Structure 1
Amino acid sequence: MVNAGGSGASSYPMHTNIVSTTFWVGEIFNASLADGSQVCSTYDGQWAFSHTGVNLGTTPDSADGCPGSIYGGCDGVSTGTGTNFACKTEKRDASNGFFPKSQPTPLQNPFYLDLPYDDVNDSTAFKERCQVIPWAAADNAATGVNHCADSNYSYMKNSWVKITGPNGNTCYGQIEDAGPSSGSLYHDSNFVFGSNDARPANTQFSGDSSQGAGMDVSPALNGCLGFASLDGDSDHVSWQFVDKASVPAGPWLNVVTTSGVNW
């Protein structure tokens, strides 16, 4: 069932012609990098398990990426166990609302993405977040608690983004991680919150020589937006934040993520 939603209207700044790549829960992008695995996210040390409920074991404490995290959850096609475990992406389509084709129904929203602003673990972003995140004050008022100095609370996680893809479709997703980033830059407030349609500070992970990638989207969003590649670096999108109440009906509302920071 598709839940009722809002109008899709947004007053937040529009970001146009931004390179987006694709990532997915359970992916091991680069095992030698501390941020090279989607078994965990910057907001959830057990992201793969939280998203799927699947437990095939625990990543060794000696691992560079996501040590101690439960592995086995995969927003795609999984094979193998232990050191042979692999999680690959898959093509999604509207026949089942762009949900996984070879996995159980996810426990969290399969329409997820990241932007290069980590308001919990990046010290610069954490320090400035209540000055630059447009909805921080309203969030504090709504919860009745000022979370600005609370490192166990994120203003970014679960926030909604409106994205228009190569096929002209507009789809919606929730922020569940931070990136893409060149090195340790996870506080790109000029790109993420600015009103001048800036390019990302990141200069990597892009097939467009004029700019680096500014967003990663999930397989569900990849399919919904009509990306040319399942795991490429040359698709472009336009995006803007959107308030939760304005998110319109669509498969992105069938399973909504509400969990907080989990580390």
Structure 2
Amino acid sequence: MSIACVLAAVALPAAVFAQAGQPGPLTGLASLTPSFPRREAAPSSLPRHLTEKWHQNIVTTVFWVGEPSVGAGWSACKDSAWDPRWVENYGGPDHPTKRKGFLPAAFKPKQNPFYVALPFNDLVPKTRANPVISNFLRFWRRSVIGSFRNSKSVCKNQWIAIRFGDKVVHAQWQDVGPVNFDDYDYVFGFQRPKSTAQGMAGLDVSPAVRDFLGIPGRGTTDWRFVDETEVPRGPWKDIVTRD
């Protein structure tokens, strides 16, 4: 189940940069710039440490477009953190059991059925209050959408690879969750998910991802970011979400 709420300012530990071979937050943020080539409207431009690092043994659960709320504190997936008309733009509810291959049986979706939710929202105003996070997002936003506009999420549509046993699937980041919305140190760093301490998931995957990997309702997977230019052929590229 995915949620979209308010991001509190989160400081990135110097250890994150040290493990990535990058300077710490107090040793010159401008030196991070070379990791983010300034290309106009590039599909993706990711720092090397993001694409080389696997987040391992992450508790993984299933969610879907149109999923109803399961109770207080959980939001229905009629909209996403970045799309207030998610069900409509997807084409309808992505029913988790009524399937035709990797697609919902009732219709062909207008967006990629291979999607995920991760616990970070880059568009919440308090994100910009933290100089380390805002600097990271500033250069990433420049490389991905060719400007410093804050109206478009730089996280949405990014690709990740997910590994379960000997299978690897690729999917696009489309929502915020499963539990938190401010876990920068996990999503972009080297920390365990905040939700681990609560015995809860650190990754939500769609029914198509679940079915490709053969995950039961809840499982443990590894994942990492992948530059779009490196995404291999597969059913996840039949419909690619761009908007």
Q: TM-score w.r.t. structure 1 length? A: 0.67
- Tell me, in whole angstroms, the C-alpha distance in 2 between the residues paired with 1:114 and 1:137: 22
- Tell me, in whole angstroms, the C-alpha distance in 1 between the residues paired with 2:231 and 2:126: 30
Offset at 1:224?
A: 0.9
- Tell me, in whole angstroms, the C-alpha distance in 2 between the residues paired with 1:145 and 1:220: 33
In the other structure, the counterpart of 2:103 is: 99
Gaps of 5+ in 1: 1-8, 53-72, 77-88
Q: What is the 5 A alignment of 1:136-215?
A: 137-141=139-143, 143-147=145-149, 150=150, 152-165=151-164, 167-181=165-179, 185-194=180-189, 196=190, 198-203=191-196, 211-215=199-203
- Tell me, in whole angstroms, the C-alpha distance in 1 between the residues paired with 2:108 and 2:87: 13
Equivalent pairs: percent with the same residue? 34
State the AA in 2 paired with 1:90: T
Number of residue pairs matched by the alignment: 193
Offset at 1:153?
A: 1.1
| SS of residue matched to 1:11 | helix
Offset at 1:32?
A: 4.0
Query: Does the CA contact (< 8 Å) of 2:103 and 2:113 recur in 1?
Result: yes
In the other structure, the counterpart of 1:90 is: 97
Query: Does the CA contact (< 8 Å) of 2:161 and 2:168 recur in 1?
Result: yes
In the other structure, the counterpart of 2:89 is: 50
2:76 to 16, 32, 37: 37
State whether structure 2 residue 54 is matched by structure 1 residue 14.
Answer: yes
State whether structure 2 residue 120 is matched by structure 1 residue 120.
Answer: no
- Tell me, in whole angstroms, the C-alpha distance in 2 between the residues paired with 1:36 and 1:143: 29
Change over 3 Å in CA distance of 1:13–1:125 after alignment to 2: farther
State the AA in 2 paired with 1:24: W
Change over 3 Å in CA distance of 1:140–1:251 after alignment to 2: same
State the AA in 2 paired with 1:74: P
Q: TM-score w.r.t. structure 2 length? A: 0.72
Change over 3 Å in CA distance of 1:188–1:239 after alignment to 2: same
State the AA in 1 paired with 2:224: Q
1:27 to 67, 72, 75: 67
Offset at 1:227?
A: 0.4
In the other structure, the counterpart of 1:75 is: 94
- Tell me, in whole angstroms, the C-alpha distance in 2 between the residues paired with 1:130 and 1:38: 27
Query: Does the CA contact (< 8 Å) of 2:62 and 2:207 recur in 1?
Result: yes
Offset at 1:16?
A: 0.3
- Tell me, in whole angstroms, the C-alpha distance in 2 between the residues paired with 1:116 and 1:219: 19
RMSD of Structure 2 on Structure 1 (CA): 2.4
- Tell me, in whole angstroms, the C-alpha distance in 1 between the residues paired with 2:136 and 2:122: 10
1:245 to 208, 223, 229: 229
Offset at 1:114?
A: 0.6
Report the structure, 1 or 2, having the larger helix content: 2
In the other structure, the counterpart of 2:210 is: 222
Offset at 1:138?
A: 4.8
Change over 3 Å in CA distance of 1:113–1:126 after alignment to 2: farther
Offset at 1:126?
A: 4.8
State the AA in 1 paired with 2:69: F
Query: Does the CA contact (< 8 Å) of 1:118 and 1:126 recur in 2?
Result: no
Gaps of 5+ in 2: 1-47
Change over 3 Å in CA distance of 1:156–1:144 after alignment to 2: closer
| SS of residue matched to 1:110 | coil
Query: Does the CA contact (< 8 Å) of 1:92 and 1:223 recur in 2?
Result: no
Change over 3 Å in CA distance of 1:125–1:224 after alignment to 2: farther
Offset at 1:160?
A: 0.4
